[in-house]
Amino acid sequence: MPESLLSVEDLTTEFATAQGSIRAIENVSFDLRSGERLGIVGESGSGKSVTARSIMRLLDDNGRIADGSVELDGRQLTDLSERELTDVRGSEIAMIFQDPMSSLTPVLTVGKQITETILEHRDVTKAKARKEAIELLERVRIGDPESIIDDYPHQLSGGQRQRVLIAIAISCDPSVLIADEPTTALDVTIEAQILDLLEDLVREREMSLVQITHDLGVIAETCDRVAVMYAGRIVEKGPVSEVFVEPRHPYTGGLLRSTPRIADIEPDLLAGNVPDPGQRPEGCNFAPRCAYATEECHLEDPPLDPVGAREVACIRTESIGTLDPIPDEVRQESSRPGDGDAIVESESVYKEFSSADSLLDRFLPGGDPPVKAVDGVDISLVQGETLGLVGESGSGKTTLGRLLLELTDRTDGEIRFDGRPLADVPDAELRQRIQFVFQDPNSSLNPRQTIGTILRYAIEKHETTADTEARIAELLTEVGLDPETRHEYPHQLSGGQKQRVGVARALAVDPDVIVADEPTSALDVSVQGQLLDLLDEIKRDRSLSMIFISHDLSVIRHIADRVAVMYLGRIVEVGETRSLFKSPQHPYTEALLSAVSSPDPQMDTERIVLEGEIPDPKRPPTGCNFVTRCPEAMPECKHRDPELTAHDGGKVACFLHHDATRSETTGAGDLNDGSASRPEADNQPTTDGGGES
């Protein structure tokens, strides 16, 4: 067995808080061999980031390593002085942080920030350092490194910034690279690029990688071994090919089973929440949520004992044996309520944001063209269905959702609610019948109001006679909260609970339509599943219609009846969920689907990694918006704009299929007939780019 390069033993870190000292991680041990890729996975609050920061000794002022040792290549990192540490950090062990937006200094050029690291650790001239910086940028596959090196961080996109951070991290050839959620802030297609890059770099340079993430799929695709953390402890550790295929710890099993998947499998949810670091239970931390727990489990912390090639922290692992990571229950296709009446319809809706905000800018010539956030969108939401709206950031999906509620004024186009144009719907009726669930539960609840007050206002706004207090209790129960929660302030609740309050508020007015804007993106996997089920259940019970906006395809797969895919302000494909996921028609949809990483390491997926990034919405390409990144782009695509045309039961905006439908007279014919019965809103204007250039 090769010597371990980084060896962490019994690492315990505590934080001083107003409630006294809290142990964020306890007795974390693992070894990292040379060239190995180790994944640390866990939900928020599990202590995975604290582990990384403890290794680097980058804890905040109120944190300290209470116990344990970190050995890097035979050197104790815990004993080093701050000065000695500076030599180790960067040159022997480097870290990539989660948020590429805040990890670069905005006042220095990218080149300065890279050469700074090189000059700090090595004895080279400035000119040489700059040359090396350009080479590094090339190695992280940034286009045109010679000009990017003199750019400031704000001139770069999120993906480019993450590449620069990687370039800085590898600039001094560290032997260990710690990546703390390097792709969480990025879009799926960019995530695929960055993961590819990391994998290649690690292989080329024979680095060891510690990949920290909440995403099981990322681990499955990029790591050799995995350590699963729960509430500050490692609960299971071993080769990915074993842990993810035959999990032993009930938490690992539960986590794998509750992950929403693209495949036709109903996730099997874990009940409950990760306990707060200050309020961890006696005995096994997972025991209160564990289906296999006995009385014994509540007595003592289970040690991490070896079982075969793995280590498992569960006293009952012998009797439990291995678990099945994939739930048996096959997804039930919700019986789609036929082609009912459309309750919300949009017809070639446009929204432009002008960057000219002052009076002077508006009258002066020149300046930036407006951002086309929503660029001629036709969608319809049929009564009783859930329409999934999927797209990357900057695709305009949130703006579209806000336009439907008139939270933002549209530039052009028509939106009909219940068959009437929005202008004819009285404001009070609109506000009562269509509601919004917001993305960030931390900002969607007024911090100065108790939960009761928030709901009371909403209830009293639309029905004055009812018994408000009873209604509040009823609503809170409906969303799975204790009615006593009404006395609490938002900051006293967990993220999942806050989002439930957000749902309760939307339900308070008894709406017919709910627009949910990424309601689960801020939540952990298990909590996310619970909320999705809640939304689905409520939708069914109250026979609501719902527009569910998300960037996460597996979430959309789980909840939507129909899916609309957006790219750069336009809808590129619409179709029934099952058929769209089974056979995506548009190249973009196809790439999106292949970019989703599956937590099953045995699944050998060929990902389509898209080149480049979403173009600037101020200057979209002429012709098809997707032409700059499309692997199938044809000369025709650069000149003409494909319309959203019926194809195979759905609609797709791609010439590939326009031709196909034209030439294929057999086979697809039946399906075309079937969809032809649906009224076709074909008002997409052909904005020919010819005049612009």
List of residues contacting another protein (CB under 8 A): 16-20, 61-62, 64, 278-279, 359, 402, 405, 407, 427-428, 430-432, 435-436, 438-440, 443-449, 457-458, 461-462, 488-489, 491-492, 502, 505, 509
In angstroms, give the least distance from the CB of 277 to another protein.
12
Helix spans in 24-175 (H): 48-56, 82-88, 110-121, 126-139, 145-148, 158-170
Structure tokens, 14 = 């505590």
If the CB atoms of residues 511 and 587 are measured against another protein, the closer one turns out to be: 511
In angstroms, give the least distance from the CB of 278 to another protein.
8
In angstroms, give the least distance from the CB of 381 to another protein.
17
In angstroms, give the least distance from the CB of 522 to another protein.
11
If the CB atoms of residues 404 and 654 are measured against another protein, the closer one turns out to be: 404
Q: Which residue type occupies 154?
A: H
Residues near 675 by Cβ (< 8 Å), separated by ≥ 6? 646, 649, 650
If the CB atoms of residues 61 and 541 are measured against another protein, the closer one turns out to be: 61
In a 13 Å sphere around the CA of 101, the CA atoms on its Cβ side amount to 3
Alpha-carbon distance 656 to 199, whole Å? 33
In angstroms, give the least distance from the CB of 362 to another protein.
13
Alpha-carbon distance 31 to 347, whole Å? 58
Alpha-carbon distance 280 to 415, whole Å? 50
If the CB atoms of residues 107 and 359 are measured against another protein, the closer one turns out to be: 359
User: DSSP character for 297?
Assistant: G
Contact 207, 176 (CB under 8 A): yes
Query: Helices 110-121 and 126-139 meet at what angle, rounded to 10?
Result: 120
Strands 305-307 and 310-312, by their bridges, are antiparallel
If the CB atoms of residues 176 and 544 are measured against another protein, the closer one turns out to be: 544
If the CB atoms of residues 79 and 357 are measured against another protein, the closer one turns out to be: 357
If the CB atoms of residues 210 and 389 are measured against another protein, the closer one turns out to be: 389
If the CB atoms of residues 531 and 580 are measured against another protein, the closer one turns out to be: 531
Torsion of CA 598, 601, 602, 605, to 10 degrees: 50
Contact 570, 375 (CB under 8 A): yes
If the CB atoms of residues 18 and 107 are measured against another protein, the closer one turns out to be: 18
If the CB atoms of residues 279 and 663 are measured against another protein, the closer one turns out to be: 279
In angstroms, give the least distance from the CB of 404 to another protein.
11
Nearest to 398 by CA among 581, 638, 271, 566: 566
Alpha-carbon distance 106 to 126, whole Å? 21
Structure tokens, 492 = 């006293």
In angstroms, give the least distance from the CB of 425 to another protein.
12
Alpha-carbon distance 142 to 166, whole Å? 11
Q: Which residue type occupies 207?
A: M
In angstroms, give the least distance from the CB of 19 to another protein.
5
If the CB atoms of residues 20 and 635 are measured against another protein, the closer one turns out to be: 20
In angstroms, give the least distance from the CB of 489 to another protein.
6
Phi, psi of 447 (to 5 degrees): -65, -15
User: In angstroms, what CA-CA distances link 44 with 180, 215, 236, 298, 527?
Assistant: 12, 11, 17, 23, 11
Structure tokens, 425 = 């719907």
Strands 434-437 and 513-517, by their bridges, are parallel
In angstroms, give the least distance from the CB of 16 to another protein.
4
In angstroms, give the least distance from the CB of 464 to another protein.
14
Torsion of CA 644, 648, 650, 652, to 10 degrees: -30
Q: List the strands of the sheet with 20-33, edge to edge.
A: 20-33, 4-17, 63-72, 75-76
Q: Which residue type occupies 670?
A: D
Structure tokens, 225 = 């071994």
In terms of Cβ atoms closer than 10 Å to its own Cβ (0-12, 13-18, 19+), residue 195 is buried
In angstroms, give the least distance from the CB of 516 to another protein.
12
In angstroms, give the least distance from the CB of 9 to another protein.
22
If the CB atoms of residues 519 and 587 are measured against another protein, the closer one turns out to be: 519
In angstroms, give the least distance from the CB of 131 to another protein.
41
In angstroms, give the least distance from the CB of 359 to another protein.
8
Alpha-carbon distance 14 to 531, whole Å? 31
If the CB atoms of residues 101 and 428 are measured against another protein, the closer one turns out to be: 428
If the CB atoms of residues 25 and 136 are measured against another protein, the closer one turns out to be: 25
Residues near 578 by Cβ (< 8 Å), separated by ≥ 6? 264, 333
Alpha-carbon distance 109 to 104, whole Å? 9
Phi, psi of 15 (to 5 degrees): -125, 140
If the CB atoms of residues 2 and 20 are measured against another protein, the closer one turns out to be: 20
